[in-house]
Amino acid sequence: MEQHPTPPDADRNHAAQSPTGGSAVDRAAVRARADEVLGLLAGDRARLREDQWRAIEALVVDRRRALVVQRTGWGKSAVYFVATALLRERGSGPTVIVSPLLALMRNQIASAARAGIRARTINSANIDEWDAVQAEVASGEVDVLLVSPERLNNPDFRDQVLPKLAASTGLLVVDEAHCISDWGHDFRPDYRRLRTMLAELTPGVPVLATTATANARVTRDVAEQLGTGTGGAAGGGPADGALVLRGPLERESLALGVLQLPDPAHRLAWLADHLDELPGSGIVYTLTVAAAEEVTAFLRQRGHTVASYSGRTEDAERRAAETDLLENRVKALVATSALGMGFDKPDLGFVVHLGSPNSPIAYYQQVGRAGRGVDRAEALLLPGREDEAIWRYFASLAFPAEEQVRRTIEVLAEADRPLSTAALEARVDLRRTRLETMLKVLDVDGAVRRVRGGWTATGRSWAYDAERYARVAAARESEQQAMREYAAAEGCRMEFLRRRLDDEEARPCGRCDGCAGPRHGSEVSREALEAARAALGRPGVEMEPRRMWPTGMEAVGIGLKGRIAPAEQAAPGRALGRLSDIGWGTRLRAMLAPGAPDGPVPPEVVDALVTVLADWSRGPGGWAAPAGGGEAVQRPVGVVTMASATRPELVASLGARIAAIGRLPLLGRVEYGPAGPPRGARSNSAQRLRALHEAFVLPQELADALASCEGPVLLVDDLVDTGWTVTVVARMLRRAGARGVLPLALAVQA
């Protein structure tokens, strides 16, 4: 097991941290048995360190609550598995572990089995097994039950299973407990439901909360939310009967570095040239799903054995990718933060970030995947100028404004039945993900309740904590500034990260590029750079058309529901790139950014779109493929442009150039209606469609031209965000006589 020194005040505080007493002989016997169990988990020669024993002693002998804030690789899972074995031998009920990621659950079930501990899980990936698992728990066959936090607020689980678990649990473990805190980098409102379970536990049931990624503020907040008190110094101390163990965050095996490269092509080329030089196998983190897929494709093209891992990856593929990395069958997983907490590979040799996370805490957690069981591992950051745009996007998902929250509560209060999230979307101005997060917070706060069929208002008073949300937003901005400083730092990078996590023992590490000098140069081969530029410069992404109207439109007076009639759908379209791409996305973000000047479309953009059109006509899903209505899609016979309130010259010039190059007539422009550009929100599908419904008109000249068309038309726009503008306008064009509508845009948002 990995070692680090016991905090200096451990012996001084030891007696005070044993409030229930117990003879020295009893404690010695428990300690000896604990070492035996650890030997089964980690090998015969493994022995508990003193700080690990203190946590186990608090749980097993003293039946206390403990908050453990220790670095990745410290051995937190050993603590709760050893404690589970000892408590079960004393007749306690099963341990319940609330754990955020499926990867963690799979690893821990395998670890538990080595010590004869029977572990099962309840999560979204094994719904068919829930009844059997619950029966096994009830009959005493299960020692450890791992539960995803999302289960805690499932109505059936919350009302039927959770009370029984709370009554029978022998130990409650909250893994990655920083998720409880909205000050943390990975706040998950489902974790707040733990307060209910804590309140319903049988008196004397021990509780263990663990995390590796919490500064002092997050630690205090987590302790308060879990009812474990705010705790004392780094070595721990009694607080409301709880033990707080906060240790140093040094990672003796980890060598940190930053490599500044001029653009995405150079970063991609550098990785292709130098990936095999990095030790062992590892993880390449990207900030977006699109980037993960792009990087994976390029590295494979350059001969590297890599796999992609993101929130878009199917569960079976995730399992296969995890196994391939664990068994060193791939050099790297190219992953988003979906591969984060809990992935356990002791010999992971490196972590490379293509793009900077927006928080030092998040960065420390991710690089902490490497070097747990090897003498040296590398963590290298390759920041990019496009990182800030991605940070801004994630910042836009913060807790909504008070007006939006109040409106949601009012809508639920006025409803005569529970409303699903989809039904709420038609009535409130929030995107699905943001709406769901807000509802979970309101549920824990008591303002709403999740029931069968959706959500209801409770009628309880509720206060909007604007001051707290503002402080959280300010903390986020401070964390982003810290990452800018980390990338530019000239001193010790490990010391910088440890100080940002309030580690009082932070000191120069002697290993990072700030202490020992750079380990890697910025050189890239001409061949790799040209290949990277070609890959990133390759234009064209497909745009799938909308095929279903949003739920609940009739409730707001719009008679659209179910499947969009095939004869009124757009065909699959094309765009030059995604705004989240690391290739064309970088150029398109600057061109289409709010406040960017309007002007004619640049020649290089036109050239790229001509390539897109040529590939479109020849490739799968091209103009010879079936359209939404099932008929063959012919070559377009004309060009139609969209009205634009912000970039009219750009869109008009784009349509004109495409028409001229393709020798197609420019049929006209779809105009705004009498009310002008739609002012409705882009926040969710229902609200967007509500704003766009009847927002456009077809000039008579355009309507006449469409009626006489003998084939489909290209519908040209600058940016496709939700896809509803294209859907609404395509329906108008089809109804006016267009044989088909082929959307063409500069960029798509996703």
Contact (CB, 8 A) for 516 and 492: no
Whether the pLDDT of residue 189 is over 70: the answer is yes
C-alpha distance from residue 134 to each of 112, 144, 505 (Å): 19, 12, 45
Cα dihedral 404, 408, 410, 411 in deg (nearest 10):
130
Contact (CB, 8 A) for 711 and 733: no
Write out pLDDT tens, residues 113-162: 877 889 888 876 677 788 888 888 888 899 999 888 878 877 778 777 88
- CA atoms of 584 and 581, how far apart (whole Å): 6
Sheet holding 65-69, edge to edge: 119-122, 144-147, 95-98, 171-174, 207-211, 65-69, 242-246, 238-239
Q: Both tokens of residue 537? A: 């410069």
Please report the domains of the chain, with CATH numbers, ordered by start residue.
10-246 (3.40.50.300), 250-537 (3.40.50.300), 538-748 (3.40.50)
Write out pLDDT tens, residues 583-619: 888 889 889 988 889 999 999 999 999 999 988 887 5
Contact (CB, 8 A) for 175 and 215: no
Strand pairing category for 242-246 and 238-239: antiparallel
- CA atoms of 71 and 49, how far apart (whole Å): 14
- CA atoms of 292 and 333, how far apart (whole Å): 9
Cβ-count burial 199-237 (b if 16+ within 10 Å, e if not): eebeeebbbbbbbbbbbbebbbbbbebbbbbbbbebbbb
Q: In which residue are the tokens 């957690």 written?
A: 365
Residue 626 DSSP one-character state: B
Write out pLDDT tens, residues 361-378: 889 989 988 988 889 999
When computed from its CA atoms, the radius of gyration of the chain, rounded to whole angstroms, is 29
Whether the pLDDT of residue 426 is over 60: the answer is yes
Cβ-count burial 475-513 (b if 16+ within 10 Å, e if not): bbeebbebbeebbebeebbbbbbbbbbbbeebeebebbb
Q: What is the pLDDT of residue 249?
A: 85
Whether the pLDDT of residue 749 is over 90: the answer is no
Instruction: Indicate the pLDDT class of residue 496, thresholds 50, 70 and 90.
Output: very high
Q: What is the pLDDT of residue 240?
A: 47
H or E, element range at 308: strand 306-309
- CA atoms of 673 and 676, how far apart (whole Å): 6
Averaging pLDDT over each range in 105-119, 202-216, 688-702, which range is the top one? 688-702
Quote the Cα angle for 79-81-86, to 5°.
95
Quote the Cα angle for 661-663-669, to 5°.
90
Least confident of 310-319, 483-492, 679-688: 679-688
Least confident of 151-155, 401-405, 729-733: 151-155
**What are the backbone dihedrals phi and psi of residue 379, each rounded to the nearest 5 degrees, phi first?**
-130, 115
- CA atoms of 59 and 321, how far apart (whole Å): 36
Q: Both tokens of residue 98? A: 């609330």
Burial of 241 (0-12, 13-18, 19+ CB in 10 A): middle
For residue 532, how many C-alpha atoms fall within 13 Å in the half-sphere facing its CB? 20
Write out pLDDT tens, residues 632-677: 457 899 999 999 999 999 999 999 999 999 999 999 999 999 888 8
- Spatial CB neighbours of 15, under 8 Å, sequence gap ≥ 6: none
Whether the pLDDT of residue 6 is over 60: the answer is no
- CA atoms of 112 and 157, how far apart (whole Å): 24
Beta bridge partners of 641: 669, 716
Contact (CB, 8 A) for 284 and 332: yes
C-alpha distance from residue 229 to each of 66, 198, 220, 240 (Å): 10, 14, 8, 6
Closest to 749 (Cα-Cα) out of 288, 295, 267, 284: 288
Burial of 43 (0-12, 13-18, 19+ CB in 10 A): exposed
Whether the pLDDT of residue 700 is over 80: the answer is yes
Whether the pLDDT of residue 631 is over 50: the answer is no
Whether the pLDDT of residue 4 is over 60: the answer is no
Q: What is the pLDDT of residue 298?
A: 94
H or E, element range at 174: strand 171-174
C-alpha distance from residue 56 to each of 64, 82, 94, 170, 183 (Å): 10, 7, 16, 14, 28
Average pLDDT along the chain? 84
Cβ-count burial 353-391 (b if 16+ within 10 Å, e if not): bbbbbbbbbbbbbbbbbbbbeeeebbbbbbbbebbebbb
Contact (CB, 8 A) for 220 and 177: no
Write out pLDDT tens, residues 16-32: 333 445 566 688 899 99
The residue-averaged pLDDT of 716-731 equals 93
Whether the pLDDT of residue 712 is over 70: the answer is yes
- Spatial CB neighbours of 653, under 8 Å, sequence gap ≥ 6: 600, 601
For residue 211, how many C-alpha atoms fall within 13 Å in the half-sphere facing its CB? 29
Q: Both tokens of residue 2? A: 């990995």
Residues in the chain: 750
- Spatial CB neighbours of 145, under 8 Å, sequence gap ≥ 6: 94, 95, 96, 97, 119, 120, 121, 122, 133, 137, 165
Instruction: Indicate the pLDDT class of residue 9, thresholds 50, 70 and 90.
Output: very low
Q: What is the pLDDT of residue 35?
A: 92
Cα dihedral 339, 345, 348, 350 in deg (nearest 10):
20
- CA atoms of 434 and 684, how far apart (whole Å): 10
- CA atoms of 589 and 579, how far apart (whole Å): 6
What single letter denotes the amino acid at residue 446? G
Whether the pLDDT of residue 621 is over 80: the answer is no
Q: What is the pLDDT of residue 280?
A: 95
What are the CB-based long-range contacts (under 8 Å, 24+) for 305-312?
Answer: 305/329, 305/330, 305/331, 306/330, 306/331, 306/332, 306/333, 306/334, 307/333, 307/334, 308/333, 308/334, 308/335, 309/333, 309/334, 309/335, 309/336, 309/338, 309/339, 310/335, 310/336, 310/338, 311/336, 311/338
Whether the pLDDT of residue 397 is over 60: the answer is yes
Write out pLDDT tens, residues 654-666: 999 999 999 999 9
Closest to 686 (Cα-Cα) out of 564, 563, 572, 554: 554
C-alpha distance from residue 319 to each of 212, 307, 482, 692 (Å): 24, 12, 34, 42
Q: Both tokens of residue 140? A: 């005493």
Contact (CB, 8 A) for 117 and 105: no
